[in-house]
Amino acid sequence: MKKEIRILGIDDMPFSFGDSMVDIVGVVMRGGVYLEGVLKTSIEVDGRDATQKIIDMIFRTKHKNQIKVMMVDGIALGGFNVVDGREVYKKTGIPVITIARDKPNMEKIRDALKKHFDDWEERWNIITRDETHEIILEYPVYVKNYGLDMEEVKNIIRISTIRGAIPEPVRVAHLIATGIKTGESHGRC
Amino acid sequence: MKKEIRILGIDDMPFSFGDSMVDIVGVVMRGGVYLEGVLKTSIEVDGRDATQKIIDMIFRTKHKNQIKVMMVDGIALGGFNVVDGREVYKKTGIPVITIARDKPNMEKIRDALKKHFDDWEERWNIITRDETHEIILEYPVYVKNYGLDMEEVKNIIRISTIRGAIPEPVRVAHLIATGIKTGESHGRC
- Tell me the per-residue pLDDT of B105-117, one tens digit each, with 9 for 90 and over: 999 999 999 999 9
How crowded is the C-beta side of B17, counted as CA atoms within 13 Å?
0
Residues B64-115 have pLDDT tens digits of: 999 999 999 999 999 999 999 999 999 999 999 999 999 999 999 999 999 9
Q: Both ends of chain A: CA-CA distance in Å?
A: 26
List, in order, residues 6 or more apart from A37 with CB less than 8 Å away.
A27, A28, A61, A62, A63, B175, B179, B184, B185
Q: What pLDDT is attached to residue A189?
A: 72
Q: Are A144 and A131 in contact (CB under 8 A)?
A: yes
CA distance A174 to A172: 5
* Nearest-CB residue to B35 (from A25, A175, A183): A175
pLDDT (0 to 100) of residue A165: 93
H or E segment to which residue A42 belongs: strand A34-44
Nearest Cα to Cα of residue B158 among B18, B1, B12: B1
**pLDDT tens sequence for chain A (189 residues):** 788 999 999 999 999 989 999 999 999 999 878 999 999 999 999 999 999 999 999 999 999 999 999 999 999 999 999 999 999 999 999 999 999 999 999 999 999 999 999 999 999 999 999 999 999 999 999 999 999 999 999 999 999 999 999 999 999 999 999 999 999 999 877
Length of chain B: 189
Q: Cα angle at A173 between A169 and A179, to 5 degrees? A: 145
| Percent of chain B clearing pLDDT 70 (strictly above) | 100
B contact residues 31-90, partner A, Cβ 8 Å cutoff? 33-41, 57, 60-62
CA–CA min distance A180, chain B (Å) = 6
Task: Look at residue B2 in the predicted model and tell me its pLDDT.
Answer: 81
The DSSP result for A59-93, as a single string, is: HH-TTTTTEEEEEEESSEETTTEE--HHHHHHHH-
| pLDDT score recorded for residue B3 | 82
Q: Please count the residue pairs, one from chain A and one from chain B, whose beta carbons lie less than 8 angstroms apart.
A: 74
Lowest mean pLDDT among A88-92, B58-62, B135-139: B135-139
Q: Is residue B138 pLDDT above 80, yes or no?
A: yes
A111 phi, psi to nearest 5 deg: -60, -45
Nearest CA in chain A to B162: A34
* A33/B185 Cβ within 8 A: no
- The minimum CA-CA distance between B167 and chain A, rounded to whole Å, is 12
What ipTM does this complex have?
Answer: 0.96
User: Mean pLDDT lowest for which of B11-20, B30-39, B43-52?
Assistant: B30-39
Task: Answer yes or no: pTM beyond 0.90.
Answer: yes
Q: What is the pLDDT of residue B31?
A: 83
Angle at B123 between CA B122 and CA B127, to 5 degrees: 120
Mean per-residue pLDDT of chain B: 96
Query: How far, in Å, CA of B96 to CA of B99, rounded?
Result: 10
Test mutation, B12, B41, B67, B180, chain A, max A CBs within 10 A: B180
Nearest to A183 among B36, B40, B176 (CB): B40
Least Cα distance to B67 among B54, B77, B78 occurs for B54
